[in-house]
Structures are given as structure tokens and as C-alpha cells.
Structure 1
Amino acid sequence: MKILVYSDYSRINHSVRPEAEIFLQLASMGHTVSVFSPRLDPAEPFTAAGIRTATTAQTAKVSPTSIRLLRRELRRENYDVVFATSSRTIPTAAFACMGFNCKLVVYRGTTRGLKRSDPTSFLSVLHPRVDAVLTVSDAVSEAVRKKLYKNRDKVVSIFKGHDIEWYKDPPADLAEFSIPPNAVVAIAVARFRPSKGLRYLLEASELLADIEPLHLLIVGSGADQAPYTSIVMNSPMRDRIHITGRREDALRLIAAADMLVQPSVDGEGLPRSIIEALAFGKPVISTTAGGAKEVVEEGKSGLIIPPANSVAIARSIRALAAEPETIQTMSEHCRNLVRTRLSHTKTAAAYEQFFQSLCSEQAPIPRSIGDHQGIYTAVAPDYLQHRAAILKLLENFDASGEILHRKRNTVKKMLLCDTPVVVKSFNIPRGIRAFIYGRVRKSKARRSFEHARRLRTLGISTPEPIAFIEERRRGQLAASHYVSEYFPHDFSMTYGFSGNEDSAIINAFTQFTFDLHEAGVLHWDHNPSNTLVRDQAGAWEFTIIDINRMRFGSLSLKQRMKNFVRLTDDISTMKNLAHCYARLAGEHPELCETLLMKQKQRHWRKLALKKQLKRLFGKGPR
């Protein structure tokens, strides 16, 4: 792949090292990487690694000069991916990429600040040219998806990896703060602002004053303002609360402490100080705000507490301070966490895989049939030689083919050069929906095509995608078709849930659904008719269809259980599904059953409401 990175490397320090290391790793994997920055630190590591670098001298949020420079570079080199990372580089990269057939990926590291009501958001992550968003945690991904109008399935969270070898700094001498050698030190590294929750840590000191060896060390600026000054002055621990201000040796201070406290209230992505503490073998006490809960393992590498709760902070600090042996046990687990899940090599491999999956998606190619303009097609590489035959199928769609399904959409089995294929003609949207699908959202046909390619990349069975075709008139979507291979099958899971089969197929189907969820796949139309089954010498093979509505990313247990509500109305079968899934997921059966039944009740209420509305407006039986 050819990757152009536009980020701010005007100062290469420990805070940007994890990001820089990603692209050094990608270059070492054989990819062509170019790094552009408004300014470059003379100590930058890219040139020595054979990576081409350039500066844009950008100062404004949107710089026409920098846009022209990037566009000149995009014309010079056929880049596959452009990756922009900051509020200053993303708008410039977005405008520069307009008209070029490259994938624009942007980075998001915080859950706050992205608003549809804020016009500047449309210069960054919400810019219509953005193809995908890489985030630092699932918490950020969820926050971004709520704001996006399109490409919600292209929001992926990848931790910024570190290397345990980066953390060899000797511990700082805490005698400068009059902290004795035998003290128990809890450190927090953050600026004093409301979202960081430091006031709750200071308030917790009132409940910790009886622990004489305990000292609080807070590294960050902004403590000389209300309410922090008054809380410190009134604390019975005030002589053992040490606020350092901003420090260049924050890493050495973390190395000298016994535990890290991250009391954030909101807005966090995944604080760097948490990974730094883990790398030094320091257990972390963190709130559930942001992505910390995705990394810190309760009781193994730290403790997770609710936000804005000084009592919980005090209780956790007290628990660790009272058991030094627990801190020692956690210490090695913390380091192993950085060596494994949070390693920089694993991060680079995840970036490579995501970029490659984006590049494997073929962009639509404009075509016309006869005198009708505005017809667009995208054909899978293996079927490019059959493009004309595919378009001929659509011309004959109404008059030929075997009808497999006809309701809102029409599905037919047809022959493409003597090979059976399935052609799905989607319902024609009307009114405002025709405009939305024509200008804002991807068509269902295109989503089906892209989702199929992504599913097959993940090793999930779905019919091979062949092509999608869209027709637009005056900016509105007039028709869309999706063509895929025909999957020979024995029956669908409608038969499997009808009571004609024993529990073996239900258990196998539950395993299949669990595998989908573990791969980060949520099939919104997960009903029995959309899973085809083939008997392969006594083993069941499942494949999913009707895949235009999908979501990719990590799933909560609640979301997983909700995915079962369309399968059956039989209470006994639902309970069996929940218990089987619980065994696979290592969860408590009662919890899974309760979650599933709650979601099922909501599903029934929703169906009843829809039926009432249809009767009210004359669209259903009275």
C-alpha cells in the first residue's frame, strides 16, 4: 500500500511516539509511507527509516496553500490511503482529497467536542469526504457513530500500542516533595479542569487521612483556581497532597509512585498516562468514563470505579494501600498487558489490516446503458469481463428469472453466462428518502456489496458479491440492484426454528451467531429466513444473506442478546438460546436470559405499536 500521513510532528516527544511508531512499523512491513507535517522536529525518526517527509508550514485550520501542496503530492503519487490525525490537519487533508480515488482515514481520540450543531465538526470527522474513522477506544467509536450521517460501519477502534522497552526511566526522587521512602504514593497526571475529575480525588483525601504513609501526588497545571485551592486547604491530608504543576519528568514520577488514579468524569478516549503506568507495572484506579475500562482488568491490573464518586476513589486507594502484596501481584500483570494487548507491533498490524480492508473495496465506476445516463456500477475484480452481461441481466430483470422472494424487494435467481446468480432489486425509495439515498446515504445495494466483501475478509460465510448497480435521476435514487452468487442450500433457519429439527441445529446456529459477534459483526436483520443452511456430511454450514443493514465493532452483551429477538417467539427456545450463548461467552446463564427476555418484551411492544399505528392510519386490518 501507499500511505500518506498528514499529522503534526513539529515536536517529537513521548506523547507522539506511539503514533509515529505505527508508521515506522508499516514502512518496515514493506509499505510505502510518506509523512507530511506543518513543521518537523529536527530529531524526527522518519528520514532515517527511508520515509519521505515534507513540511507544509500550515498555521490556519484550513490552509489553501497546504491544500494545493497535498493535491500536488496526490497527483504525483497514486496513494491508497491518506491518514490525518489532528483538528488542524484533518480539514486540509479532506479538501485536498476531493476528486482523488484514495481512502481518507481520520483519527479521533476523545469522546467530546463532536457536535452536529457545530459547523467546525463538518471540517473534521463529519466532513463528507471522510471514508473511515480510526479511534483509540470503543467508547470514542460509539460517540463518533452517534454523530455520523454515513459510514458508521467504518468507525474502528484500535489501541495506540506501546513498547515496554520505552519505559526504562529511573524513578524520580520524591524527597523533593518531602515524601519519605516508605510512603505509599498515589499519583494522578492530568490538567485541573472539570472533565478530569480531580476535585473528586481531592475530596477523597478527607476519607484517607487516617492512612499515615499515604501521599497524593498530582502532576498537572491549573490547581491555583476554585474549587481546588479550598478543597486542599480544608483537607485533613493537606500536608500530604503534593501538586507539582506541569512537569517534563512525569514518566519518572509515575515510575516512583505505587498506583495511578484516573478520576475522569467524561471526555476521555484512552488516557496515555494509564498505559504509561501499566508499562511501569503500576496498577490503575480508573473511572468508567472513556476507554479505560476496556484496558484495565478489574482486580488484575487495577480497579474500575464509577465517575464523580469520591467515596469509591477513597475505597479503592485504601484497598491497594492496605495490601502491598496485591500491588506487587498486579505489577507483572500490568507489564504483560502492555507486552500483549497494548504492544505497538500489534497496533501496526491492526492498522495494516484495516487499511487493506478499505483498499479492497472497489469504488463505483460510472457507466451508461443506451440513452439512459446516471447508471453506476461496481463489479468485483473476478467478474469484470462479465460487466456487459451483468447490465443485460438488469434489462431483462422484469421478464426473466425465477422469483425467490417478492414483497417489499424482489429477489430472483438468474443465469449469468450459464452460472446461477441472485439479483436483488430493492424497493424504490420515494420522496425525501429518494433524495437521502441519492445524496447522503449509500444505497442498500452498495451497502450489501461492501458488507459482503468485508464479511468474507473476516472469514464469515455469505454469497460472493458480484456487482451493484444504481440509477439516479435528478440527484435522486431511482433504482438499485445487488448481484451475488447463488448459494445452494438445503433450507433456511425458518425450518430450523419450526420444531422440525432437534436442538443440535439450534446449538450450532447459536455457535455461528457467537462467532459473528466475536468477529465484531452485528447483523441487524438476523432473522431465520436470512440464514441459509447446508448439510455438509452431518455438519451444518451457515451463510447469511440480506446484509445491507450491519454494524461492525465491539458489542456489549446487551447488544448481543438483542440480536436474537427476531429469531423466534417461543419462550422455551429463547431461554435455550440464552443459556447456550452464555456457555460460549463465559457469562452467567441467568444474566443472558434476563437480558434477552427484556429485549424481547421491548420488541413485542414495538410491534404492537406499529400495528396500532397502521390501523389508525388505515394501513392494516381493523
Structure 2
Amino acid sequence: MPDAPPAVLQVLPALVSGGVERGTVEIAQAIAGAGLRSLVASAGGPLAAEVEAVGGRHLTLPLDRKSPAALLSNAAALRRIVRAEGVRILHARSRFPAWSALMAARATGASFVTTYHGTYNEGFPGKRLYNSVMARGDRVIAISEHIAEVVRTRHGVGPDRLRVIPRGVDPVRFDPDTVAPDRIEALRRAWSLPPGRPVILLPARLTRWKGQGVLLRAVAGWPEPRPVVVLAGDAQGRDAYVAELRAEAGDLGVDVRLPGPVSDMAAAFLAADLVIHASTEAEAFGRTVIEAQAMGRPVIASDLGGPRETVEEGVTGWRVPPGDDRALAGAIARALAMPPDVRHAMDAATRAAVLARYTTRAMQDGTLAVYRELL
């Protein structure tokens, strides 16, 4: 396609849901907006239609399959796409399909870009080699300084190839001034929130390392008015863990709500008095933290991983040792006892901090700058 603009092809397993998938759509939009051709290859899913809606084109490949045969067949398919579409950059966002993309890039001369999205466990023999594909890009994008340090120390990637581009939040979608009161009230009714009691929200999928149990223990035995704890997130089939949380809350006398996934998170943040990040393992970034901050909600976060960069102690929230329910309880007590004028100032500071650095536009611009280096 000699007369067509250069194409950028993003590669990932599927487009069902999640931060990686949402980021793929956002970058697809930026690529199209920059006058390049925006392609995404995956096994498909609900977000494939969004790729098309923002000006990209989705190509269906079985990139969610994990086998040597799938790796080789996907590499061959990607090679054909690169040559037929004039792809100049292959951008891999997940490890197994990244190996196919790397093979296609090396065979065709296309530039290879990776986004290193997580710390990636190395508990099994050969896992570091498997993970290393995400550090083999001509440019390696780390989603936080925390991840950048992982890439430097594990894989020896230097500043010539490593770029730090934090995750971003849409400040229009997450804007407290645009959320109608009836949206908030609808959630309060759905969650059966009694008036006059503090609401503490922990937005995360329901899995043990996200620290739901830590929060329950932190508010156990709280004096009146007792807070209501909302654990908003998808259990992803972990029914036993949900039952365990309900039983623990009952034993501790904690008033808890488990509403499952929440579609209107902007309203959910405004329905809460305080937002908690209680993960006991390091988050690569922690997107819900900046979403809450964009809505003018201070966050109490575990002092590890990405939130160390997004939560400024005493300015946009507080950080506590991970897994320490007593420290978390103390931080919650201080936050709920803030005078209204101090709380208002912190609410404003949290949104200002997000607008200064952690927007979708900043993430898009940073990624386009990486592409321009290679084009």
C-alpha cells in the first residue's frame, strides 16, 4: 500500500474487558486521530466494536490461544498482515502474542514496541525468559516508574529504549461537575446506603491480594456512626471468596455491600466518602486510584507499587503499610475527621494532580511520541 499512511498494529489476546484492553482502544483512537492507520489484532470481544468506533480496524486472530502451534501460526498471520497493510510498527501488549509479534516484526523489518503492564511473576523455571519478550522492543513502554525499575533491574533495558508513560484517566468521563445527583442517588438506593453513615469504597476485582479482608478488619468495632463498606468489583467466579468475605464481615460486625461490577464508577466515587486501595501486592499502576482522584476523592492506598507515585501523602491522600489493618484504621479515622474546609481543599488537590499528569490525552500523546521516534 505505497500511497497509504503508515499503519500501527496493536496486538493482544482479546478485547473483552480490563485496563490493557481499554488502553488499547484509547491508543487506537489516538493513532487514527494522528492520521495513521490504526489496526488492532485480537481474538475479539465486546471492545472490538469500540476499536472500530474510534477509527481503528479490528482483525480477528486466535491470539488468545497458548500453544507452540498457535504461536507459529499467529506469527505467520501477523507477517501477512504487516506486508499487506504496510504496517510500520507492531505494538504488543501481552506476553504470549508478543512472541508471535516479535517473530513477525523481525521477519518483515517492522519496528517492535511493547508495553510492560505488570511485574509478571517469575516463580517457575524459564518464566523470566518467557517474560523477557516484553523487554525486547525497539521501545519498551513502562506504565509507571515502579514498572520501569522492574524492567531495568530484571532485563537491563537502558534509557535508549525505555520510556515511562503512566496510565491515564478521561477527565471528561470522570468529572464531578458532570455527574447528575440522580445518578448518585440511584447507586445509594441500589446499595441500600442508610443516611448519616460514612461510605467507604474499595473498587477492585474480588481476589484476596486486593485486600478486601484488610479493610473489613480495619473498620471492625467502629463506633457509631458505623461506616458502610462497599466492595465493588467482579468476583470472576470466586464464589468461595465472596462467601468468605460475607462471613468475615458478619463475624466482625461490619456492614458490607458486595454489588459486583459497577458500570457507573464516576457516580460510585461520589457516593463514597472515602476510597481505599488495600492491595497487599504491588500494583503496576492502579488506575482506580487516579479515577477516584479525578472525581475529587482522596485515596488511602497501600504504600507499594504504582500508588506511591499517584498518592502524595497528606496532599492527595495517604499511604499505609500493605496488609496493616491497624494503620489503615488510623488513616480512615483521620480522613473522616477532617474539617470540611480541609476536606474541600484536598478534594480539589486530588483532581488537579490527575489533570496535571495522569490523563488519557497525556498517555496518548506519550505513546504517539514513541511511534514518531520509530517512524
TM-score between the two structures when normalised by the length of structure 1: 0.52
Instruction: Tell me which residue corresponds to 2:59.
Output: 54
Letter aligned with residue 214 of structure 2: Y
Q: What displacement does 1:72 show?
A: 0.8
Displacement of 1:114 in angstroms is 4.2
3-state SS in 2 of match to 1:268: coil
Cα distance in structure 2, aligned partners of 1:128 and 1:191: 28
Whether 1:30 and 2:40 are equivalent positions in the alignment is no
Q: Residue 267 of structure 1 aligns with which residue?
A: 282
- Which residue matches 2:83? 75
Q: Is the 8 A contact 1:163 1:339 kept in 2?
A: no
TM-score, normalised to structure 2, is: 0.83
User: What is the aligned counterpart of 1:332 among 335, 348, 359?
Assistant: 348
Using a 3 Å threshold, how does the CA distance of structure 1 residues 150 and 333 change in structure 2: closer, same or farther?
Answer: closer
2:110 matched to 1:94? no
2:43 and 2:61 in contact (8 A); partners too:
yes
- Write the mapping of 1:483-522 to structure 2, written as runs, cut at 5 A: none
> Structure 2: any 5+ residue segments left out of the alignment?
1-5
Secondary structure of the residue aligned to 2:370 is helix
Structure richer in helix, relative to its length? 2
Q: Hey, what's the Cα distance between the residues in 2 that align with 1:52 and 1:246?
A: 28
- State the number of aligned residues: 355
- Within 5 Å, give how 1:268-307 maps onto structure 2: 268-307=283-322
Q: Aligned partners of 1:30 and 1:281: how far apart in 2?
A: 35
Q: For 1:118 and 1:44, how far apart are their aligned partners in 2?
A: 39
How do 1:139-538 and structure 2 match up within 5 A?
Answer: 139-148=146-155, 154-167=161-174, 168=178, 170-171=183-184, 172-206=186-220, 209-220=222-233, 221=235, 222=238, 224-225=240-241, 228=245, 231-235=248-252, 237-238=253-254, 240-323=255-338, 325=340, 326-357=342-373, 359=374
**Cα distance, 1:346 vs. partner?**
1.4
Residues 79 and 107 in structure 2, CA contact (< 8 A), matched pair in contact too: no
Q: Say if 1:217 and 1:241, in contact at 8 Å, map to a contact too.
A: yes
Structure 1, residues 88-126: CA drift from partner, whole Å, max 9, x if none?
4323212322333222122222224146x5435434434
* Counterpart for residue 39 of structure 1: 44
> What amino acid is aligned across from residue 79 of structure 1 in structure 2?
V
CA 1:277 to 1:144, structure 2 compared with 1: closer, same or farther past 3 Å? same
Match of 2:3 in 1: none
Q: Tell me if the contact between 1:184 and 1:257 (Cα under 8 Å) persists in the aligned partners.
A: yes
Relative to structure 1, the CA distance from residue 32 to residue 89 in structure 2 (aligned partners, 3 Å threshold; closer, same or farther) is same
Per-residue deviation, residues 189-238 of structure 1 (Å, max 9, x unmatched):
2234342222221211136x114152211123347449645542332x42
The structural deviation recorded for 1:49 is: 4.6
SS in 1 for 2:58: strand
- Mapped contact 1:97–1:104 kept (Cα < 8 A): yes
Judge which range, 16-25 or 240-249, deviates more: 240-249
Structure number with greater Rg is: 1
* Cα deviations by residue, 1:115-139 (Å, 9 ceiling, x for unpaired): 6x54354344346853332122111
- CA spacing shift, 1:88–1:174, aligned 2, 3 Å: farther
Would you tell me which structure has more strand in proportion to its own residues?
A: 1
Tell me which amino acid in the other structure corresponds to 1:70: L
Q: What letter is aligned with 1:73?
A: I
Structure-2 change in CA distance of 1:303 and 1:82 (3 Å): same
For residue 129 of structure 2, give the secondary structure of its aligned residue in structure 1: helix
C-alpha distance in structure 1 between counterparts of 2:85 and 2:190, whole Å: 54
* Greater displacement, 285-294 / 162-171: 162-171
How far, CA to CA, are the matches of 1:292 and 1:67 in structure 2? 36
Letter of the 1:232 counterpart: A
Q: Is the 8 A contact 1:218 1:243 kept in 2?
A: yes
Aligned-residue Cα RMSD (Å) equals: 2.9
* Structure 1 residues 243 and 104: CA distance shift in structure 2, 3 A: same
**Structure 1 unaligned regions, length at least 5:** 361-622
Q: What displacement does 1:280 show?
A: 1.8
CA distance, structure 2, for counterparts of residue 52 and residue 105 of structure 1 = 19
With 99-108 and 40-49 compared, the bigger mean Cα shift is at 40-49
Q: 1:324 to 1:68 in 2, by over 3 A?
A: farther
DSSP 3-state at the match of 2:87: coil
Q: Determine helix, strand or coil for the equivalent of 1:34.
A: strand
Identity %: 24
Ranked by relative contact order (alpha carbons within 8 Å, sequence separation 6 or more), the top structure is: 2
CA contact (8 A) 1:268 1:291 kept: yes
